[in-house]
Chains A and B, each alone.
Chain A
Amino acid sequence: MKRRLRDVPWAVVMLLPSVVLIAVWTVYPLVKAVQNGHLRCDVTGTKCIDAGWGRYWDVFISAEFQHALGVSLKLMALTVPAGLVLGVGLAVLADKHLRGIGIFRTIFSSTVATSVAVASLVWFVLLQPQIGVFADLFSGWFPVLKNPGLLNDPGTALLAVAFSSIWANLGFTFIIVTAALQSVPRDLYESAYVDGAGNVRRFTNVTLPMIAPTLLFVTVVLTTRALQTYGEIALLTGGGPNPEKSTTTIPYLIYGRNSIISGDLGTKSAAAVLLFVLSLALALVQFRGLDKRVHYGR
């Protein structure tokens, strides 16, 4: 006990840097955003009216926010399951001790080293309707690639953004799942093999339960990332195509250069706080709902 007390000053000193950084870069902005969310200010943000906490509800039920919420949830539904399945699939394929497998692992994980901006620009150029490679090669089968272009068609724009997003996040899922696969004890597979379990059986009864904690983690991260998708949209579609605004997600509504709330700090803050609450709620649902079905190997 005495010793513990003696450690306190040192503990404080050692914690200080991260406490200060988190306070300045995370806690303060969050508090400030919550505070700004119910203010209606002039251009310089010095003269403000307090619109009350009801402002959050007004923003939440506004047509624009509801539309953006719908787009965000759609994007989440498109990217999270597909990203998860593809990531696990590739990781299982590459989890073999074969000569040269390292090359494939490098390729599969390479997108983790590709920034959203670079990935989006690559897809943007590939999908460009006039001079893009895809339009040149496949527009005979898929005229939408040329006219008006995958990113310009209200029916396909979100799908194209989701595709680019899945691709960009694949490396992350692959690396995390690969690491989890390698930590599964080999003797479990051997016992299952002795018991007569085939490849499929070993995957569903050994692999999946053993990597379930990792899958939960990846699901939560992918969900949060999907709800925070901004870069792909800013670079690929600009929230369009108009007038449907089929890719205006909540982050794009908040930060987009052509957003109608771009000049209004209070409303932007309110929308950002709502997005935070939404992500938090979803993460809680996922943790509470899936946690019990997850085997932590304790």
Chain B
Amino acid sequence: MRTRPTRVAVAFAALTLVAACSGGGSITDSGDTQPPAGESTVADTGGETTVAESTTSVPADSLPDCPTDALADATGTTEITFWHGMSGPLGEELTRLTDAYNASQDKVKVSLVQGSYEETADNYYQASADDRPDIVQLPEYQVQAMVDTASAIPVGKCLEASGFDTSAFLPTALQAYSTAGVQWAMPFNISNPVLFYNKRVFEAAGLDPNTPPASLEEMRSMSQQIVESGAAKFGLSLESGFDSGGGWYVEQWFAKAQEFYVDGDNGRTTRATKVLYNNQTGVDLLTFLQQMLNDGLAVDVGDNSQTGYDNLLKMADQTEPAAMTINTSASLGPVLAVLGSGQFPNINANDVGVGPMPGPDGAPGALIGGAALWMVDSGDDVSTAATWDFLTYLVGAQVQSEWAVATGYVPNRTDALDLEPYKGTVAADPRFAVAYQQLLDTPDAPTSAGPVVGPLRQIRSVLATAVAAVFNGEDVQTVLDAAAEQANGLIADYNARN
């Protein structure tokens, strides 16, 4: 039976037309908001794990225990596996630290498996219980999904069992990985956004090169002075990447304004069901940025997520540079290294100033980015104890001091500040202390822990598209409402499945 080619082509075209005309909804709309009931499961659930109903309905005593002393009685070497997302120089440093740990004792031997954050998360979620590692490093936007796997031993249980002292740790870092009183994971590598500015341009514009803007309002007035004096074409370089200006920074600004970003107190007391970013705080914030673009005080370099440095390069542009931009503190080391080569005539490494991320009314503080270490419940006491031993090594003061200097991350504890090599590095170049100081200045408020919601990564993507539309001049409230509706659909769909 040979179908005539024309007939196939016509059928194909017709199908496409029908589809185009049926005007489908969103791809994420499953049309089903009922949680998957036990009896309707298609795949084998194994019957051994129960998926938690919500973040908060997990009573602490129903969570797996952490027998941290089991290693003492164990004989031989316990082998554990660590899945992490550190590539390039970061991965090399983590390998060096792990090798040092393995060489220092013979009870525990750690082997590393490296992927990107996304690969690590995907591989972890899809792995069967037997294939999971003993310890996994996952970024801050994975907290809810990781809790929903019901596969982790909360670090809080281990802290309790071992009497581990956390008083030196940054409260805001610990808070980021806890929900409803359960400390789920241990912060390991921490970054937050800071302001980068060109001191030479500040000077040329008659501004004090050592006083960066503290508030959004100051950022605008300084931009005005820079543009009007002709010191630079633009005051500020903006971008709309989902892990930066289009998503993460908006979360930061909400935290600075002490506003929740999603309901359920940022998903930390009850499971989040909707985003709040289309409220007045969100509209004011994006209108402010849009106004800076309209007035020629800022420039939009587009989606930054490909490189992470398009906005920084705009500061080095020879014809139409910008004087300031916001970027993650983790990029400070690479920025200074690149500028140190002297290939950019209008900015060198010494011209780079670093200040805290300007917020509404100069409100200080920042949410932490980066990733945390999760203890995986293997059911084996000795493995668990071995994993805990390794984890406490990685978050120890000396290791954190070395790790921070080698990577540009912020140490997660105050006592690491007084240890070499971090102490010497900061003394030699105080710009490395800005990100840390910003975390210390974070107010003790429930809003100082960022949003915890299942599809946070996808929500950032949705908002990034909206921010790009706002930067293009579209109506802020309309765009944000549409983005909120789509994000709420994602959350409803996620909550229905988990």
A-to-B contact residues, CB < 8 Å: 39-51, 55, 58-66, 69, 124, 128-131, 146-149, 152, 235-238, 240-243, 245, 253, 257-265, 267, 271, 281-282, 284-285, 288-289
Is B8's CB within 8 Å of the partner chain A?
A: yes
Q: Are A267 and B27 in contact (CB under 8 A)?
A: yes
Can you list 25 A-B pairs, Cβ within 8 angstroms, ordered by A?
A40-B36, A40-B496, A43-B454, A45-B125, A48-B36, A49-B32, A50-B40, A51-B31, A61-B22, A62-B26, A63-B24, A65-B27, A66-B24, A124-B306, A131-B316, A237-B306, A242-B468, A260-B458, A260-B462, A260-B490, A262-B461, A263-B454, A263-B458, A265-B126, A288-B2
Interchain CA distance A181-B469 in the complex, whole Å: 51
Q: Are A285 and B27 in contact (CB under 8 A)?
A: no
Q: Are A267 and B28 in contact (CB under 8 A)?
A: yes
Q: 7 extra interchain contacts, Cβ-Cβ under 8 A, other than A129-B301, A264-B493?
A: A39-B43, A40-B496, A45-B125, A49-B41, A65-B27, A236-B306, A264-B28
**Which of chain A's residues have a CB closer than 8 A to the CB of B151?**
44
**Which of chain B's residues have a CB closer than 8 A to the CB of A242?**
240, 246, 302-303, 464-465, 467-469
Which of A45, A51, A253, A284 contacts B32, CB < 8 Å? A51
Which of A49, A236, A243 contacts B42, CB < 8 Å? A49
Which of B20, B43, B118, B303 contacts A262, CB < 8 Å? B118
Known A58-B24, A63-B24; contact A148-B302, beta-carbon cutoff 8 A:
yes
**Which of chain A's residues have a CB closer than 8 A to the CB of B24?**
58, 60-63, 65-66
* Closest residue of B by beta carbon distance from A152: B302
Interchain CA distance A149-B41 in the complex, whole Å: 49
Interchain CA distance A212-B375 in the complex, whole Å: 61
Interface hit among B45-53, B286-294, B384-392, B434-442: B45-53
Identify which of residues 346-388 in chain B touch chain A, using a CB-to-CB cut-off of 8 Å: none
CB distance from B312 to the nearest CB of A (A): 9
Q: Are A262 and B457 in contact (CB under 8 A)?
A: yes
Is B81's CB within 8 Å of the partner chain A?
A: no
**Which of chain A's residues have a CB closer than 8 A to the CB of B467?**
242
Which of A40, A260, A289 contacts B5, CB < 8 Å? A289
Identify which of residues 222-258 in chain B touch chain A, using a CB-to-CB cut-off of 8 Å: 240, 242, 246
CB distance from B150 to the nearest CB of A (A): 8
Q: Are B465 and A46 in contact (CB under 8 A)?
A: no
**Which of chain A's residues have a CB closer than 8 A to the CB of B469?**
242-243
Interchain CA distance A37-B77 in the complex, whole Å: 44
Q: Are A51 and B30 in contact (CB under 8 A)?
A: yes
Is B25's CB within 8 Å of the partner chain A?
A: yes
Is B103's CB within 8 Å of the partner chain A?
A: no
**Which of chain A's residues have a CB closer than 8 A to the CB of B316?**
130-131
Which of A44, A267, A288 contacts B126, CB < 8 Å? A44
Interchain CA distance A48-B36 in the complex, whole Å: 7
Is B494's CB within 8 Å of the partner chain A?
A: yes
Bitwise, B1-44 to A at CB < 8 A (1) or not (0) is 01111101100100010011011111111111010100011111
Is B314's CB within 8 Å of the partner chain A?
A: yes
Which of A49, A50, A243, A261 contacts B466, CB < 8 Å? A243
Known A63-B24, A242-B246; contact A46-B43, beta-carbon cutoff 8 A:
yes
Interchain CA distance A148-B311 in the complex, whole Å: 12
CB distance from B339 to the nearest CB of A (A): 13
**Which of chain A's residues have a CB closer than 8 A to the CB of B461?**
258-260, 262
Known A43-B498, A257-B118, A263-B457; contact A48-B41, beta-carbon cutoff 8 A:
yes
Interchain CA distance A64-B19 in the complex, whole Å: 12
Interchain CA distance A41-B27 in the complex, whole Å: 15
Which of B20, B305, B497 contacts A49, CB < 8 Å? B497
Interchain CA distance A265-B30 in the complex, whole Å: 13
Q: Are B313 and A130 in contact (CB under 8 A)?
A: yes
Interchain CA distance A61-B20 in the complex, whole Å: 7
Interchain CA distance A260-B467 in the complex, whole Å: 15
Interchain CA distance A114-B53 in the complex, whole Å: 50
CB distance from B461 to the nearest CB of A (A): 4
Which of A42, A62, A130 contacts B148, CB < 8 Å? A42
CB distance from A63 to the nearest CB of B (A): 6
Q: Are B472 and A258 in contact (CB under 8 A)?
A: no
CB distance from A221 to the nearest CB of B (A): 19
Is B145's CB within 8 Å of the partner chain A?
A: yes
CB distance from B271 to the nearest CB of A (A): 14
**Which of chain B's residues have a CB closer than 8 A to the CB of A48?**
36, 41-43
Is B317's CB within 8 Å of the partner chain A?
A: yes
Q: Are A43 and B19 in contact (CB under 8 A)?
A: no
Q: Are B36 and A263 in contact (CB under 8 A)?
A: no
**Which of chain B's residues have a CB closer than 8 A to the CB of A66?**
19-20, 24
Known A48-B41, A152-B302; contact A59-B27, beta-carbon cutoff 8 A:
yes
Interchain CA distance A261-B16 in the complex, whole Å: 22
Which of A42, A46, A63, A241 contacts B44, CB < 8 Å? A46
Q: Are A240 and B32 in contact (CB under 8 A)?
A: no
**Which of chain B's residues have a CB closer than 8 A to the CB of A238?**
303, 305-306
Tell me which of A64, A124, A131, A260 has the highest count of chain B C-beta atoms within 10 A of its own C-beta.
Answer: A260
**Which of chain B's residues have a CB closer than 8 A to the CB of A62?**
24-27, 29
